[in-house]
């Protein structure tokens, strides 16, 4: 099969705010519903300053660890768990998803922002997944950037685009430079 | 060596200085094909503190990464593909259709998947509150749309041609007219957010965002083609733009 060269990415820019967000985009389950948890944190630049114009996408398995293939993310019915959502950062660079604990070891996150020329992929591992075989492939001093920490509402995961605590971002075998 | 002016002086760089930086990076390119933008691209000033400095970590996709979220008729109203009918009157500007196919890296059509677009109006103004460009808003144009690709991977939007847009990267900076596109494939690893440009725009060489794609062949893929067969008499002009996502890792179960 012929391999085609992929189209280049470009920055999401500053003006996605009237296009990409949608009602309840960050609520994969209704806030306060049984079993709901928060996955939240801040997006920070190389100076540690908040990035107020980022948008993150969450894609995760359900509580049993199954991949969900249900439509309805864009018009949530309050009952169907689709496994996918979007959260924009606020003025303090903070984002927040309301979701459930996946039955697997990580949340998959995609990061988009003004000033970021292409999307970034990362994984937010559950706090008890420190022994995951993939994490063993990451330098020990950077491993913690992929681990969430627990708080009273759920899980905290900061994204450092640059700097001493730069998050480990991922590329996959079929990506081309 | 590329020199960068940081801090409050950043917006004071001239186009000539930015063009010189762009030229130096192009000159230094080793000619090895690149398909994607450089994340570290100093002429785009906002990227300075927002690009990762370390090479991405190679990962074999696992679990959800081998699948994409599913969108369906419940998510998208077919009328959302027409950006010219969202208000009571007709928007100002040149009415156009933009259509093309979404293929994966193996050439398979991506069927029934979500495509989102957003853009400035004909005067180069975004409806976004943070857009301070003193060009007129158009009460009949919001500038965002969605559709699902059809059974052969084709998306299609009716809209108006956006205007070029001034920004503050440097003094007298103007973005070439563009439409933002957000696309999904059959697995997460194929996620793509990009911009489509219009053929022959004199601003291409001056724009650090487009030029961050250093390989000219890859840049050309971001430019739509005028297609007279899509143009409808006395109604609209037509542009064609195909999108190729990266190759899937999961063996597809469907036949092409």
A12 in any annotated domain: no
A113 in any annotated domain: yes
Name the catalytic one among B111, B180, B191, B240. B180
Q: Which helix (H) or strand (E) holds B160?
A: strand B154-160
Say if B219 is an interface residue toward chain A (CB within 8 Å).
yes
**Exposed/middle/buried for residue A125 (C-beta within 10 Å: 0-12, 13-18, 19+):** buried
B236-248 tens-digit pLDDT: 999 999 999 999 9
Which of B87, B88, B165 shows the shortest CA–CA distance to B120? B165
- For CA atoms B24, B124, B99, B232, the dihedral sign is negative
A146 in any annotated domain: yes
Q: Band the pLDDT of B1: cuts 50, 70, 90.
A: very low
The beta strand positions in chain A, using DSSP E, are: 37-44, 54-59, 84-88, 94-99, 106-113, 120-125, 149-151, 154-156, 159-160, 170-171
Residue of B nearest to A82 (CA): B69
Q: Least CB-CB distance to B195: which of A1, A10, A169?
A: A10
CATH number of the domain that residue A116 is part of: 2.60.130.10
A28 in any annotated domain: no
B180 is catalytic: yes
B228 is catalytic: no
A153 in any annotated domain: yes
Q: Who wins on pLDDT, B5 or B12? A: B12
Q: What is the residue-wise DSSP string for B197-214?
A: E-TT-TTGGG-HHHHTS-
Judging contacts by C-beta atoms under 8 Å, the chain A residues touching residue B49 are 45-47, 49, 115, 161-162
CA dist B96 and B90 (Å) reads: 13
A19 in any annotated domain: no
**What is the token pair recorded at B223?**
């430019």
Between the CA of residue A148 and those of A92, B93, B182, B195, what are the distances in Å?
Answer: 19, 48, 28, 33
B93-119 tens-digit pLDDT: 999 999 999 999 999 999 999 999 999
Check residue A58 and give its pLDDT: 98
Residue of A nearest to B168 (CA): A14
B44 is catalytic: no
**Residue A142, phi then psi, degrees to nearest 5:** -110, -5
B68-82 tens-digit pLDDT: 999 999 999 999 999
- CA angle at B179 for the pair B159 and B205, rounded to the nearest 5°: 135
Q: Which stretches of chain A score pLDDT less than 70? A: 1
Check residue B256 and give its pLDDT: 41
B43 and B208 Cβ atoms separated by less than 8 Å: yes
Domain hosting A104: range is 37-160
Counted across chains A and B, CB pairs separated by less than 8 A come out at 257
In Å, how far is A151's CA from the nearest CA of chain B? Answer: 25
Residue of A nearest to B128 (CA): A15
Is the pLDDT at B83 greater than 70? The verdict is: yes
Total domain count for chain A?
1
A21 in any annotated domain: no
In Å, how far is A153's CA from the nearest CA of chain B? Answer: 24
A103 in any annotated domain: yes
């Amino acid at each position: 099969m012929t391999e085609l060269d992929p189209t280049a990415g470009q920055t999401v820019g500053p003006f996605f705010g009237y296009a990409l967000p949608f009602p309840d985009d960050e609520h994969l389950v209704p806030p306060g519903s049984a079993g709901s948890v928060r996955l939240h944190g801040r997006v920070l630049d190389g100076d540690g300053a908040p990035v107020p114009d980022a948008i993150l996408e969450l894609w995760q398995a359900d509580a049993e660890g199954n991949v969900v293939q249900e439509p309805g993310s864009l018009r949530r019915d309050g009952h169907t768990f689709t496994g996918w959502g979007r959260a924009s950062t606020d003025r303090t660079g903070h984002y927040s998803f309301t979701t459930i604990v996946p039955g697997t070891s990580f949340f998959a996150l995609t990061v988009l922002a003004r000033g970021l020329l292409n999307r970034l992929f990362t994984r937010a591992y559950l706090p008890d997944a420190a022994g995951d075989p993939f994490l063993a492939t990451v330098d020990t001093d950077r491993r913690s950037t992929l681990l969430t920490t627990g708080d009273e509402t759920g899980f905290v995961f900061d994204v450092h685009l640059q700097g001493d605590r730069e998050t480990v971002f991922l590329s996959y075998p079929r990506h081309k430079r | 060596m590329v020199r960068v002016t940081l801090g409050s002086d950043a917006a004071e760089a001239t186009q000539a200085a930015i063009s010189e930086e762009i030229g130096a990076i192009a000159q230094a390119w080793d000619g090895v094909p690149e398909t994607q933008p450089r994340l570290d691209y100093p002429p785009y000033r906002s990227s300075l503190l927002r690009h990762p400095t370390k090479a991405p970590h190679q990962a074999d996709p696992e679990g959800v990464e081998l699948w994409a979220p599913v969108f369906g008729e419940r998510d998208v109203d077919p009328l959302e593909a027409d950006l010219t009918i969202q208000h009571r009157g007709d928007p100002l500007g040149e009415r156009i259709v933009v259509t093309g196919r979404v293929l994966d890296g193996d050439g398979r059509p991506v069927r029934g998947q979500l495509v989102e677009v957003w853009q400035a109006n004909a005067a180069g103004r975004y409806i976004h509150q943070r857009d301070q460009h003193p060009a007129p808003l158009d009460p009949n144009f919001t500038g965002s749309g969605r559709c699902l690709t059809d059974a052969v991977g084709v998306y299609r939007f009716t809209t108006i041609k956006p205007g070029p847009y001034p920004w503050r990267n440097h003094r007298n900076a103007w973005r070439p007219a563009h439409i933002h596109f957000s696309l999904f494939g059959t697995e997460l690893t194929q996620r793509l957010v990009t911009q489509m440009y219009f053929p022959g725009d004199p601003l291409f060489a001056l724009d650090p965002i487009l030029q961050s794609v250093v390989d000219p062949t890859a840049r050309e893929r971001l430019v739509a083609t005028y297609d007279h067969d899509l143009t409808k008499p006395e109604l609209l002009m037509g542009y064609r733009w195909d999108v190729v996502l990266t190759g899937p890792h999961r063996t597809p179960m469907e036949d092409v």
